[in-house]
Amino acid sequence: MLNDYTQIFTISVIILVISLINLLLSGLLMKLIRLLVFLIPGLLLIITLMFFILALITNDFGKLIYFIFSGYAAVGFIGSIISSLFLFFFTDKQKNKSV
15-36: string of b/e by CB count within 10 Å (b at 16+)?
beebbeebbebbeebbeeebeb
Domain span at residue 32 reads: 2-90
pLDDT band for position 71 (50/70/90)? very high
Over 60: is that where the pLDDT of 98 sits? no
CA pair distance 78, 81, nearest whole angstrom: 5
pLDDT band for position 1 (50/70/90)? low
Query: For position 7, what pLDDT does the model report?
Result: 82
Residue 96 lies in a domain: no
40 phi and psi angles, rounded to 5 deg: -65, -45
User: What is residue 27's three-state secondary structure?
Assistant: helix
Residue 98 lies in a domain: no
Tens digit of each residue's pLDDT (9 = 90 or more) over 29-69 = 988 988 899 999 999 999 999 999 999 999 988 899 999 99
Total tally of structural domains belonging to the chain:
1
* Total-model pTM: 0.81
Query: For position 4, what pLDDT does the model report?
Result: 75
Residue 81 lies in a domain: yes
* Burial (0-12, 13-18, 19+ Cβ within 10 Å), 80: buried
Q: Which amino acid is at 16?
A: L
